[in-house]
Chain A
Amino acid sequence: MSNPEPLAPGIAQAFQGIQAAFTNEHPLFTQMAPKPLRVGRGELLIRVTPTETFLDGDRVHGGLMTILLDTIMGMATWAALEEFQPLATINLQTDTYDHAVAGRHVICEAICEGIADDVSIVRGKATSEDGTLLATAAGTFMVGTRSAQVSRI
């Protein structure tokens, strides 16, 4: 795998703040110990560890994969930008293959395929650490929404 293309300087600075918030402050993400494995222009690879908070019966609920993939796919859009702008998810499709296991790492990756007319097209994937596919996703995001109030992530 080649080295990732570096982020734009303003985006790199914003990502430092996001990483600090996700690691130390955010009530959802802090408990999953997010660890960035690869961050580059328009691409992200992050490791998280789902907790028992998200169990439905003895399995991690598939909705958590949707939450994680929406998050990382929005971040992949930011990673493709020259300067930070608010985003709003337009639509998101998640296809579920298998369940994550609480306490075991999940690897989430997202690639921003491109941005046209302020709409980004992103695909994502979640796998367990042994490579088992958990879910795939495809999403579109509006870049530069007029009001920050309509941005979600």
Chain B
Amino acid sequence: MKRDLLDASDETVAKAVALTEGSAMAAWLGTKVSLGEGEHLYRLTFDEAHIGNPVIRALHGGVISAFLQYAATLEVLSRSPQPATCRTISVHTSYLRGSRDQDLEVSVAVQRVGRRIAFVEARGWQGERDKAVASAQIALRMMEG
């Protein structure tokens, strides 16, 4: 498996969108993918089921972490030059700010894709990009597709 990833483009976004189609989890998260300035942007579309505690109306921390994990997977698989599959090994999420009952936008930085392991960082924000709600370090086990 080649380690270099394809540059983000309309084609890689289309590949990411195709990966979400037919995924019930992607639908539950309200996953949307778009092309930003040289990067993929991922959006969790807010739904009442994403609330942890209905009294405080913040996104559930586990939902935030799950979406960061899902975005990381989409990023690596959609930009892989060869067919690949992967599974999550570990997700370590830091909750930097309180969240609200709104959409969550996510960008992903791929740190290294080795032959068997990929290391990825995903950051999520609501509103101002430089005020991240959460960031996650994610390790993925890569397999040839």
Contacts and interface: CB of A to CB of B under 8 A. Distances in A.
B24 A53 contact: yes
A67 B53 contact: no
B117 to A, nearest CB: 14
Interface residues of B, number: 40
Contacts of A94: 65, 90-92
Interface stretch (B1-9, B55-63, B106-114): B55-63
B62 A71 contact: yes
Contacts of B48: 27
Interface in A123-151: 147-151
A71 B52 contact: yes
A28 interface: yes
Given A52-B24, A56-B23, A71-B52, A66 B98 contact: no
Nearest to A96: B88
Contact of A91 (B53, B63, B95): B95
A59 to B, nearest CB: 9
A71 B52 CA distance: 8
A35 interface: no
Interface of B: 22-26, 28-29, 47-56, 58-63, 65-67, 69-70, 87-95, 97-99
10 contacts: A55-B24, A55-B25, A57-B23, A63-B67, A67-B63, A67-B66, A92-B92, A96-B88, A150-B97, A152-B52
Interface pairs A-B: 6 shortest CB-CB:
A63-B66, A150-B98, A67-B62, A70-B62, A61-B25, A89-B61
